[in-house]
Amino acid sequence: MRRVRFCVLLTGLLLAIPAFADSDWKTIQHEAKGQTVWFNAWGGDQAVNRYLDWVSGEMKTHYAITLKIVHLADAADAVKRIQTEYRAGRKSGGSVDLLWVNGENFRTLKEAGLLQTGWAQTLPDWRYVDKAKPVTEDFAIATEGAESPWGAAQLTFIGRQANFAAPLRDPDALLTYAQQHPGKISYPRPPDFTGTAFLEQLLLTLTTTPDALKTAPDPHSFDAVTAPLWRYLDQLHPLLWREGKDFPPSPARMDALLASGNLDLSLTFNPAHARQKVNSGELPADSLSFGFSDGMIGNVHFVAIPVNASASAGARVVANFLLSPQAQIRKADPTVWGDPSVLDVQKLPPTEAAALRQFIPADLPKMLPEPHAAWVNALEQEWLRRYGTR
């Protein structure tokens, strides 16, 4: 009889946990009603901007939240603003409520204690997240619930079928192609994010000590670890567009050069980017995506809430909506944005699973983990020292 009573009690406790969590979330939703949430996000792509406009409409209609989008040229601008406000004593009532943040800026804010922690896994729609993706670390740094995932990304080449009957399998194949087609290859000038990611990809593939990239660079071993990268670039650069004396400022410029025939390759951090740009008419119809056969670096991108946010409850409701099947399916549609989802289709109801599955890019290369966040600045500074003044 005691065992039966214990089992009944245990079952009751287990059933009570979701009920309590649901009640807690309703309290957050109630607090969020009427709030204005200032969402600082990169504004360099019209498809992204249109998607966020739709999110703003949904938040107003269904949650009584006014979502204001601050379009950034660089998320570092918002990071500086958060730092400045906090140093000035603005411990609450900050001007940034939600921030689309990259790994480097996340590290800066987290190490300074400027992010709210422990909230991401409490979001109701966290239950749909694909835990096989790196959703609890960002550039090899544990998120500790300070970031909520809302999209996946992977470095991807874009070429035309007429030029690439078979994809380039590795850096040697890329170098050979550049030798055969001088002036037709380039990459965005670091510190452009995609340009730096290209450097990281080459380093991860070429170095003889890849484990060194899992931690911050060691000044004593930096030269030895990175030597294969610089030897490779010294061979590649004279074969590039404008002989490596100039570089496209952004992936968007590379897309335009690809469309005009001035380049044979573009670079993106979105495997669905080519489909989206073909649909919009910005890239030729025979454009295709591919990566090195051993894998391409990838990550998950996140939103974070500053520690001094004015509308923390509203920011959490927005972050949860960004994780919802409805929002993730729309975002994954290449006619809308084409940003890969962070949800696990196996965890979704059948209708939503089928809708999302049609937008998952096929034949993606293995996703390789990005180096530790500290490698970004180290590689950019060394690249600028070697090639930036030519």
Which contiguous run of DSSP H or E holds residue 289?
Answer: strand 287-290
The pLDDT, as a whole number, for residue 14 is 39
How far is CA 195 from each of CA 26, 67, 143, 151, 250, rounded to the nearest angstrom?
43, 32, 25, 20, 8
The pLDDT, as a whole number, for residue 9 is 39
The pLDDT, as a whole number, for residue 297 is 93
Per-residue pLDDT of the chain (390 residues; tens, 9 = 90+): 444 443 433 433 333 334 336 779 999 999 999 999 999 999 988 889 999 999 999 999 999 999 999 999 888 999 999 999 999 999 999 999 999 998 889 999 999 999 999 999 999 999 999 998 889 988 888 999 999 999 998 999 999 999 998 899 999 999 999 999 999 999 999 999 899 999 999 999 999 999 999 999 999 999 999 999 999 999 999 999 999 999 999 999 999 999 999 999 999 988 888 888 898 899 999 999 999 999 999 889 999 999 999 999 999 999 999 999 999 999 999 889 989 999 999 999 999 999 999 998 777 888 888 898 889 999 999 999 999 865
The pLDDT, as a whole number, for residue 389 is 67
How far is 65 from 36, CA to CA, in rounded Å? Answer: 6
CA dihedral 251, 203, 232, 224 (to 10 degrees): 140
Q: 285 in helix, strand or coil?
A: coil
How many CB atoms are closer than 10 A to CB 219? 8
How far is 156 from 49, CA to CA, in rounded Å? Answer: 22
The pLDDT, as a whole number, for residue 68 is 98
Residue 385 CB contacts under 8 Å (≥ 6 apart), including other chains = none
CA 331-333-335 angle, 5° bins:
110
How far is 217 from 377, CA to CA, in rounded Å? Answer: 10
**Cβ–Cβ < 8 Å for 251, 282:** no
The pLDDT, as a whole number, for residue 314 is 98
The pLDDT, as a whole number, for residue 170 is 97
The pLDDT, as a whole number, for residue 5 is 41
How far is 331 from 55, CA to CA, in rounded Å? Answer: 10
The pLDDT, as a whole number, for residue 275 is 85
